[in-house]
């Protein structure tokens, strides 16, 4: 019989073993048993569930399109957005230091906890139940992707442009970080040796800032005279 305790329920799923959920929601800063092993398991499961969904929903998409879509869906900020939708942060057990610094709002902690919950569901009820519980979390985000998949990201497009012309690859330099720990802003410069161009970008992660800088370089290349 499944528990009816509210503490054993999350995102519509009720745990047979509430201790698994408690561990999934315990950050390592709060002591053992914490959620890192469950996160490891959940990371693989999330990738599988999303890959299977894309394979079935996009019968004509090639491997590259599905790979890019999966990367977009399972990246840290995407998982953190889903976790916020469940108000997961309020349920994560943190140590005093992480609690004081606002760890319950940080993307890395939220995404790790979400993956740990997925791992816990799998151990609690098996893969079929895990897939049934988790797939609805991603369904709306898959539906929101452009038909036929998403294009290559700016960093990849810039790298391919340079490689096709046998030119040096771009160099990305972190210029600054600012803001609270749970809401950082990164400022990055992208430089090319040939042609000699540079651009800057900002974002909530270093990756996002680099993508913005690469996009700015691509715009310069597109508008440059032949």
Q: What is the pLDDT of residues 20-68, one digit of tens each?
A: 999 999 999 999 999 999 999 999 999 999 999 999 988 888 888 888 8
Cα 34 from Cα 12, distance rounded (Å): 23
Q: Sign of the CA dihedral 138, 141, 146, 151?
A: negative
Helices (H) and strands (E) in the chain, counts: 9, 5
C-alpha closest to that of 16 among 119, 120, 88, 91: 120
**pTM confidence score:** 0.71
pLDDT in tens, 82-127: 999 999 999 999 999 888 888 888 888 999 999 999 999 999 999 9
Give me the mean pLDDT over the 193-216 stretch.
89
pLDDT given for residue 176 in this prediction: 92
Strand 171-178's sheet: what is its strand order? 171-178, 185-192, 197-203
CA dist 135 and 137 (Å) reads 5
What are the residue ranges of helices labelled H in 101-153?
107-125, 127-143
The Cα–Cα gap between 222 and 217 comes to 9
Of 39, 107, 115, 212, the active-site residue reads: 115
Note the pLDDT of residue 2. 38
User: DSSP letter at 204?
Assistant: S
76, 108 Cβ separation under 8 angstroms: yes
Is 43 one of the annotated active-site residues of the chain?
Answer: yes
Residue 182 confidence (pLDDT):
61
Q: Could you give the angle at the alpha carbon of 118 between the alpha carbons of 113 and 121, nearest 5°?
A: 125
pLDDT digits 0-9 by tens, 122-167? 999 999 999 999 999 998 888 888 765 666 788 888 998 899 999 9
8 Å CB contact between 145 and 69: yes
Strand partners, 178: 185
pLDDT at 43: 96
112 is catalytic: no
Count of C-beta atoms within a 10 Å radius of residue 118: 25
Tell me, what's the pLDDT at 3?
A: 40
pLDDT at 172 over 50: yes
pLDDT at 156: 86
């Amino acid at each position: 019989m499944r528990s009816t305790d509210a503490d054993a329920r999350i995102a519509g799923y009720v745990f047979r073993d509430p201790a698994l959920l408690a561990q999934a929601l315990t950050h390592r800063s709060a002591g053992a048993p914490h959620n890192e092993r469950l996160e490891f398991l959940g990371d693989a499961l999330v990738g599988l569930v999303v890959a299977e969904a894309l394979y079935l929903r996009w019968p004509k998409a090639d491997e590259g399109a599905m790979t890019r879509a999966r990367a977009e869906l399972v990246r840290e900020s995407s998982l953190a957005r889903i976790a916020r939708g469940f108000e997961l942060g309020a349920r994560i057990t943190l140590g005093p230091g992480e609690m004081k610094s606002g760890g319950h709002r940080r993307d890395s902690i939220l995404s790790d906890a979400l993956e740990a919950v997925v791992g816990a569901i799998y151990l609690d009820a098996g893969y079929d139940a895990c897939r049934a519980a988790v797939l609805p979390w991603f369904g709306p985000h898959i539906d929101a992707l452009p038909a036929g998949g998403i294009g290559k990201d700016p960093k990849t497009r810039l790298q391919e442009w340079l490689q096709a012309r046998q030119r040096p690859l771009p160099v990305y330099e972190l210029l600054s970080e600012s803001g609270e720990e749970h809401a950082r802003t990164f400022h990055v410069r992208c430089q090319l040796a040939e042609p000699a161009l540079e651009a800057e970008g900002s974002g909530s992660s270093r990756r996002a800032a680099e993508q913005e800088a690469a996009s700015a370089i691509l715009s310069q290349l597109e508008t440059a005279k032949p």
